[in-house]
Structure 1
Amino acid sequence: MSELLDDTFFADPHEYYRRWRAQGPVHRIDLGDGLDRWLILGYEEGRAALADPRLRKDIALFDTVLARKRGVTRANPRPQEVLRHMLNSDPPDHTRLRKAVSRAFTARQVARLQPIIERTTDELLDAMGEFERVDLLEAFAVPLPVTVICHLLGVAIEDHDTFRAWTRAMVGTADSATDRARAHDDMVRFLRDTVRDKRARPGADLLSVLVADTEAQLDEQELVGMALLLLVAGHETTVNLIGNGMLALLRDRPWLERLSADPELIPAAVEEFLRFDGPVDLATPRFTVQPITVGDTVIPAGEVVYVALAAGNHDPAHYPDPDRLDLTADRGSHLAFGHGVHYCVGAPLARLEARTAFAGLLRRFPDIELAAAESALRRYPNPIIRGLTDLPVRLRKSESIRNPVGSEDR
Structure 2
Amino acid sequence: MSDSATLPLYMRRSAFDPDPELATVRGGEGVRRVKTVFGIDAYLVTRFADVREVLGDAERFTIAQRAGFRPPGMAELTDEQLKAMRAGNLLAFDPPEHTRLRRMLTPEFTMRRMRRLEPRVKEIVTAHLDAMEAAGPPADLVRDFALPIPSLVICELLGVPYDDRDDFQRRTGKMLDLSLPLEQRMTVQLESRAYMGGLVARAQADPGEDLLGMLIREHGDDLSTDELIGIGHLLLIAGHETTSNMLGIGTLALLRHPDQLDLLRKEPERINAAVEELLRWLSIVHSGTFKITSTDVELSGVHIPANSLVVCSLPAANRDPGLVAEPDRLDISRGEMGHVAFGHGVHHCLGAPLARMEMQTAFPALFERFPGLREAGEPAEFRSFNVVYGLTAFPVAW
TM-score by length of 2: 0.90
Which residue number corresponds to residue 57 of structure 1? 63
Change in CA separation of 1:176 and 1:371 when aligned onto 2, cut-off 3 Å: farther
Which residue number corresponds to residue 325 of structure 2? 320
Quote the Cα distance in structure 2 between the aligned partners of 1:73 and 1:283: 23
Change in CA separation of 1:120 and 1:81 when aligned onto 2, cut-off 3 Å: farther
After TM superposition, the structure 1 = structure 2 runs for residues 129-278 of structure 1, keeping only pairs within 5 Å, are 129=133, 130-172=135-177, 176-177=181-182, 179-214=184-219, 217-278=222-283
1:112 matches 2:140? no
C-alpha displacement at 1:224, in angstroms? 1.0
Change in CA separation of 1:353 and 1:128 when aligned onto 2, cut-off 3 Å: same
Q: Secondary structure at the match of 2:324?
A: coil
The one-letter code sitting in structure 1 at the alignment partner of 2:97 is D
1:87 matches 2:87? no
Q: How many residues are aligned here?
A: 387
C-alpha displacement at 1:369, in angstroms? 1.2
Q: Secondary structure at the match of 1:24?
A: coil
1:283 matches 2:277? no
The one-letter code sitting in structure 1 at the alignment partner of 2:61 is L
Q: Secondary structure at the match of 1:49?
A: helix
Contact kept? 2:154, 2:236, Cα under 8 Å: yes
Quote the Cα distance in structure 2 between the aligned partners of 1:24 and 1:294: 10
Which residue number corresponds to residue 353 of structure 2? 348
C-alpha displacement at 1:344, in angstroms? 0.8
Quote the Cα distance in structure 2 between the aligned partners of 1:135 and 1:76: 44
Quote the Cα distance in structure 1 between the aligned partners of 2:207 and 2:73: 45
C-alpha displacement at 1:157, in angstroms? 3.5
Quote the Cα distance in structure 2 between the aligned partners of 1:372 and 1:284: 37
1:5 matches 2:7? yes
Structure 2 spans left out of the alignment, 5+ residues = none
C-alpha displacement at 1:13, in angstroms? 2.7
C-alpha displacement at 1:307, in angstroms? 1.4
Which residue number corresponds to residue 121 of structure 1? 125
Structure 1 spans left out of the alignment, 5+ residues = 397-410
The one-letter code sitting in structure 2 at the alignment partner of 1:251 is R
Contact kept? 2:179, 2:385, Cα under 8 Å: no
Contact kept? 2:146, 2:244, Cα under 8 Å: yes
Quote the Cα distance in structure 1 between the aligned partners of 2:196 and 2:124: 24
% same residue: 37
Change in CA separation of 1:23 and 1:173 when aligned onto 2, cut-off 3 Å: closer
C-alpha displacement at 1:29, in angstroms? 1.9
Contact kept? 1:5, 1:29, Cα under 8 Å: no
1:390 matches 2:393? yes
Contact kept? 1:39, 1:308, Cα under 8 Å: yes
Contact kept? 1:9, 1:16, Cα under 8 Å: no
Contact kept? 1:150, 1:156, Cα under 8 Å: yes
Change in CA separation of 1:323 and 1:131 when aligned onto 2, cut-off 3 Å: same
Quote the Cα distance in structure 1 between the aligned partners of 2:250 and 2:205: 42
Q: 1:379 aligns with which of 378, 383, 388?
A: 383
Quote the Cα distance in structure 2 between the aligned partners of 1:221 and 1:381: 29
Contact kept? 2:174, 2:185, Cα under 8 Å: yes
Change in CA separation of 1:62 and 1:173 when aligned onto 2, cut-off 3 Å: closer
Contact kept? 2:33, 2:43, Cα under 8 Å: yes
Change in CA separation of 1:4 and 1:39 when aligned onto 2, cut-off 3 Å: farther
Quote the Cα distance in structure 2 between the aligned partners of 1:291 and 1:391: 46
Higher mean alpha-carbon deviation, 204-213 vs 187-196, is at 204-213
